[in-house]
């Protein structure tokens, strides 16, 4: 359900989207959403962070008409609400694993939702996941890797 013209699934994330490049969010595309899905949401995590999943990007309540986000996408400009990443900021946090680590896996999961989540901006992952209960009609993920 989710894909990216910026990188291949299970392949290396181009440095443009990391702390070693421009640090912009990669483009994503998804669909088709179920007919009764009215909104979408995204959670992007580093599945190999030492402290557990590190949230790199979190947003929700994007209208169903948008099924593609270009490089550097700003969700709030398009009506979505942005949550806090693990650094406590409402923005895309570019991957920046320690130089001594093996490649980390970055998982971008898109959700098709029945109705908005209605959470306030700056909400964190726990509140996001609790709000998903009973609203997820479809979901899909794409994984990229990155090593410095």
CATH of residue 118:
3.90.280.10
131 secondary structure, DSSP code:
H
> pLDDT tens, 35-73?
999 999 999 999 999 988 999 999 999 999 999 999 999
Structural domain for 96, as ranges: 2-146
> pLDDT tens, 84-134?
999 999 999 999 999 999 999 999 999 999 999 999 999 999 999 999 999
pLDDT reported for residue 51 = 87
* β-sheet bridge partners, residue 43: 58, 109
Q: Which structure tokens are listed for 122?
A: 């700056």
Contacts of 2 (CB under 8 A, 6+ apart): 28, 29, 30, 108, 109, 110, 140, 141, 142
pTM for the full predicted model: 0.97
pLDDT reported for residue 7 = 97
Distance CA 102, CA 125 (A): 25
Closest by CA to 38, choosing from 109, 114, 111, is: 114
In the chain, the number of structural domains is 1
């Amino acid at each position: 359900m989710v894909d990216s013209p910026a990188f291949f699934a299970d392949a290396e994330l181009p440095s443009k989207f990391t702390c070693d490049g421009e640090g912009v969010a990669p483009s994503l595309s998804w669909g088709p959403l179920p007919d009764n899905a009215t909104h979408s949401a995204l959670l992007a995590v580093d599945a190999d962070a030492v402290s557990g999943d590190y949230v790199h990007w979190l947003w929700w309540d994007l209208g169903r008409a948008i099924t593609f986000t270009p490089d550097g996408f700003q969700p709030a400009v398009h009506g979505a609400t942005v949550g806090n990443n693990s650094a406590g900021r409402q923005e895309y946090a570019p991957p920046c694993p320690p130089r001594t680590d093996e490649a980390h896996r970055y998982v971008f999961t898109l959700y098709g939702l029945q109705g908005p989540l209605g959470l306030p901006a700056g909400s964190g992952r726990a509140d996001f996941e609790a709000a998903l209960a009973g609203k997820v009609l479809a979901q899909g993920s794409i994984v990229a890797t990155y090593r410095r």
